DNA sequence: ACCTGAACACCGTTCAAGT
DNA sequence: ACCTGAACACCGTTCAAGT
C-alpha cells in the first residue's frame, strides 16, 4: 500500500497555505500591518497560534506570500493598450490600485516583490512596450528595472499614507498647507511662490504626474540612444 | 528666587533628545531596524529603558526624529549645480547617499519625511531648478511633489535591500539571474530576449537611470506645457 | 500528518516610588 | 525635574505531547 496525500484518514487538513494567506490579508486590511501576529492569525483561523508554522517556516515567509498575492492581483485582469505609452501608464495605475486596495500589505511587501521574478507576463508586457519605444537588449533591461522599481516604490509610498492613523494624516496635511506658507519670500523666493499650490495637490494627481514624467523620460531616452 | 533650567541641582540631565537620537541611529545602523527597542536604547544610554519616555512620548516620535536627522544630513553639504539638470541629479544622489549610509533608518523613516516640510532650503532649490526648466506656479508645485516623492521612494527602496539579511539577498540575486532565464522564449519572447542582461545591472546603475528618466521627463513636460 | 499547549526570551507602555 | 523598578498585556519561536 503506497502512502499518498489522498490516502488515509486525513482527507482535509484544517489549514492550507491559501487559507492562511486569505486570513492574513483580511487581518492586515482591517486592522493594519501591526495586527498581523501569529496569535491573531490563529484566532482568525480557529487554530492554535503555532499551527501556521506547519505551513510557513516563519512569519517572514507569510509576508512574502502576501507579496506574491499582491502582484498576481495587480496584473490579473490586464490588457495591453493601443501603444506602449498607454500600456505602461495603465500597468502603473493597476499596480497602484492593488497597493491602495491593500495598503498595509503593500507597505509590508513591496520591497520583496521587486527583488524576485513575480510575474513573467507582466515583465514581458513592459519589455515589449519598451521595445516598441525603441529600447533593446541591455538598455531595455536597465530601463525595465528602473521603471518597475520606481512604479512599485511610488505605489507603496502612495499606499503607505493610508496606513498612518487619522491624527498623523491630518497633521501631515496641515503641515503641507500651513508650514510652507511660513517660508520667508526673501530667503526662499521660489518656494514661497508655489507654496499656495502645494496643499492643493492630491495623491491621485501626483501619482499620475509621476508616471507621466517617467513615460516622457523613456521616450526621450529612447530618442537619445537611437540617434547615437 | 526664580525657577530656571540652569538653577538648582540639576545641571546636566543624563539624557537629551539629541543623545537619544544619536544612540538610536547607532543601534539601527549596527543591528538593523528591528533592534531598535526601548530596552536596547536604555542599555546603550546606560539608563532604565523607560527613561527615554521622559523625552519622547512614544517610540513613533523617536522614529520621526530619525527621519528629520536623515533629511538634514542629506541636504547639509549641498551646493546647486551649473544647470537645473545637474542640480536635480546631484540632489537625488545626495538623498540616496544618506539613505544608503543609514539604510535601516531610511526604511523606517522615509514615509514620514515626504509628508512634512522637512527642509525649506532643499525645497527652494528644487523649485528653482524647475523654474529654470520652464515650470511655474501650479505646474511647478505638482512636479515638485511628484519628483520629490519618486526620488525619496527610490532612495528608500534602494536602501531597503541592504536591510535584508545575507541569505535573503543572495536568494533574490539568484532569482534574478536564474529564474528569468527559465522564461519560455515562445510564451515570453521579449522577456527572454533581455533575460541575460537583467542580472547584470547593479543598484547604482539602476538608480542613476531612474533619475535620468525623471529629469528627461521634466524637460519633456516643460516643453509640452510651454508650447500649449 | 497535523495540531495543541506549555515554556522561553523577548516587546511597548503605565505608574507609583525614589532622589 | 528626572530616573527607577515592578507590573501588565503582549510578541515569535521551539519542542514535547497528543490524536
- Backbone phi, then psi, for B210, in 5-degree steps? -60, -45
Residues from chain B that touch A176, judged by Cβ atoms under 8 A, are 115-117
Residues A157, B149 contacting (CB under 8 angstroms): yes
DSSP sequence for A180-220: GGGS-TTT-HHHHHHHHHHTT--HHHHHHHHHHHHHHHHHH
Quote the pLDDT of residue B94: 87
In this complex, the answer to whether residue B38 has its CB under 7 A from any atom of chain C, a nucleic strand, is: yes
Determine the topology of domain A9-57 in CATH: Arc Repressor Mutant, subunit A (1.10.10)
From A220's Cα to the closest Cα of chain B, the distance in A is 6
Q: What is the pLDDT of residues B87-142, one digit of tens each?
A: 888 888 888 888 887 776 776 666 666 666 666 777 888 899 999 999 999 999 99
Q: What is the pLDDT of residues B46-67, one digit of tens each?
A: 999 999 999 999 998 898 888 8
**Cβ-proximal residues to B45 (8 Å cutoff; 6+ apart), any chain:** B14, B15, B19, B20, B23, B51, B52
Quote the pLDDT of residue B228: 72
From A156's Cα to the closest Cα of chain B, the distance in A is 9
- CATH 1.10.357.10 range(s) for chain B read 69-227
Of A22-36, B69-83, B157-171, the range with the lowest mean pLDDT is B157-171
Which residues 55-114 on chain B approach chain A with CB closer than 8 angstroms? Answer: 107, 110-111, 114
The top-level CATH class assigned to B69-227 is mainly alpha
Positive or negative: CA dihedral A214, A219, A221, A222: positive
**What is the Cα–Cα distance from B211 to B206, expressed in whole angstroms?**
9
Q: Could you give the angle at which helices B137-163 and A203-227 cross, rounded to 10 degrees? A: 80
More confident residue, B148 or B12: B148
Quote the pLDDT of residue A3: 38
From B8's Cα to the closest Cα of chain A, the distance in A is 37
Give B17's pLDDT tier (boundaries 50, 70, 90): very high
Q: In chain A, which ranges are continuous DSSP H helix?
A: 17-31, 38-45, 59-76, 84-101, 103-114, 120-133, 137-163, 166-174, 189-198, 203-227
Residue to test with chain A: of B135, B157, B162, most A Cβ within 10 A? B157
Quote the pLDDT of residue B165: 60
In this complex, the answer to whether residue A15 has its CB under 7 A from any atom of chain C, a nucleic strand, is: yes
**What is the Cα–Cα distance from B95 to A128, expressed in whole angstroms?**
32
Closest nt to residue A54, judged CA to C1': C2
Query: Strand, coil or helix: what is A80?
Result: coil
Retrieve residue A138's grid coordinates.
Answer: 541591455
pLDDT, tens digit only, all 228 positions of chain A: 333 343 334 446 789 999 999 999 999 888 888 899 999 999 999 999 999 999 999 998 898 888 888 888 887 777 778 888 988 888 888 888 888 877 767 766 676 666 666 667 778 888 999 999 999 999 999 999 999 888 888 887 777 776 666 556 666 667 677 788 888 899 989 999 999 998 888 888 989 999 999 999 999 999 998 887
Quote the pLDDT of residue A6: 38
Protein CA at A60 to nucleotide C1' at D19, angstroms: 30
Measured CA to CA in angstroms, residue B48 lies from A145, B18, B38, B217 at distances of 47, 17, 9, 52
The predicted model scores a pTM of 0.80
**What is the Cα–Cα distance from B111 to A165, expressed in whole angstroms?**
13
Closest CA to A115 of B215, B211, B141, B157: B157
List the nucleotides on chain C closer than 7 A to a protein CB: 1-6, 10-15
Quote the pLDDT of residue B1: 35
Beta carbons within 10 angstroms of residue A149's beta carbon:
23
Q: What is the pLDDT of residues A149-176, one digit of tens each?
A: 888 888 877 777 766 665 566 666 676 7
How long, in residues, is chain A?
228
Beta carbons within 10 angstroms of residue A10's beta carbon:
8
Closest nt to residue A52, judged CA to C1': C3
Quote the pLDDT of residue B222: 93
Burial of A216 (0-12, 13-18, 19+ CB in 10 A): buried
- State the average pLDDT for chain B: 82
Of A113-122, B63-72, B160-169, the range with the lowest mean pLDDT is B160-169
Residues in reach of strand D, judged by a CB distance below 7 angstroms, are A 36-40, 49-50, 53, 58-60; B 3, 5, 10, 13-15, 42, 47-48, 50-51, 54-55
B124 vs A212: CB contact, 8 Å cut-off? no
Closest nt to residue A35, judged CA to C1': D11
Average pLDDT over residues B187-195: 91
Average pLDDT over residues B80-85: 85
Residue to test with chain B: of A118, A171, A194, A212, most B Cβ within 10 A? A194
- CATH 1.10.10.60 range(s) for chain A read 9-57
Q: Hey, is the C-beta of B219 within 8 angstroms of any chain A C-beta?
A: yes
A210 vs B146: CB contact, 8 Å cut-off? yes
Retrieve residue B194's grid coordinates.
Answer: 533581455
From B2's Cα to the closest Cα of chain A, the distance in A is 34
Which residues 156-215 on chain A approach chain B with CB closer than 8 angstroms? Answer: 156-157, 160-161, 164, 172, 175-176, 179-180, 183, 187-191, 193-194, 197-198, 200-201, 205-207, 209-210, 212-215
Residues B17, B56 contacting (CB under 8 angstroms): yes
Residues B222, B134 contacting (CB under 8 angstroms): yes
Residues from chain B that touch A214, judged by Cβ atoms under 8 A, are 150, 213-214, 217
Quote the pLDDT of residue B118: 62
Q: Hey, is the C-beta of B116 within 8 angstroms of any chain A C-beta?
A: yes
Burial of A104 (0-12, 13-18, 19+ CB in 10 A): buried
Q: In chain B, which ranges are continuous DSSP H helix?
A: 17-31, 38-45, 59-76, 84-101, 103-114, 120-133, 137-163, 166-178, 189-198, 203-227
Residues A125, A87 contacting (CB under 8 angstroms): yes
Amino acid at each position: 500500500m503506497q502512502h499518498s496525500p489522498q490516502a488515509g484518514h486525513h482527507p482535509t487538513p484544517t489549514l492550507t497555505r491559501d487559507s492562511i494567506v486569505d486570513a492574513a490579508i483580511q487581518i492586515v486590511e482591517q486592522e493594519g500591518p501591526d495586527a498581523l501576529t501569529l496569535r491573531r492569525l490563529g484566532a482568525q483561523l480557529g487554530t492554535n497560534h503555532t499551527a501556521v508554522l506547519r505551513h510557513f517556516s516563519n512569519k517572514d515567509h507569510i509576508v512574502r506570500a502576501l507579496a506574491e498575492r499582491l502582484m498576481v492581483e495587480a496584473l490579473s485582469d490586464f490588457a495591453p493598450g493601443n501603444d506602449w505609452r498607454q500600456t505602461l501608464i495603465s500597468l502603473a495605475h493597476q499596480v497602484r490600485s492593488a497597493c491602495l486596495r491593500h495598503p498595509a500589505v503593500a507597505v509590508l511587501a513591496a520591497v520583496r516583490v521587486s527583488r524576485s521574478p513575480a510575474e513573467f507576463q507582466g515583465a514581458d508586457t513592459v519589455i515589449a512596450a519598451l521595445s516598441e519605444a525603441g529600447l533593446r537588449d541591455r538598455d531595455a533591461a536597465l530601463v525595465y528595472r528602473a521603471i518597475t522599481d520606481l512604479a512599485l516604490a511610488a505605489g507603496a509610498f502612495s499606499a503607505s499614507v493610508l496606513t498612518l492613523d487619522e491624527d498623523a494624516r491630518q497633521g501631515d496635511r496641515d503641515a503641507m498647507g500651513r508650514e510652507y506658507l511660513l517660508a520667508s519670500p526673501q530667503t526662499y523666493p521660489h518656494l514661497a511662490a508655489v507654496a499656495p499650490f502645494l496643499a492643493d495637490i492630491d495623491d491621485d494627481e501626483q501619482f499620475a504626474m509621476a508616471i507621466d514624467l517617467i513615460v516622457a523620460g523613456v521616450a526621450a531616452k529612447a530618442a537619445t540612444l537611437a540617434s547615437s
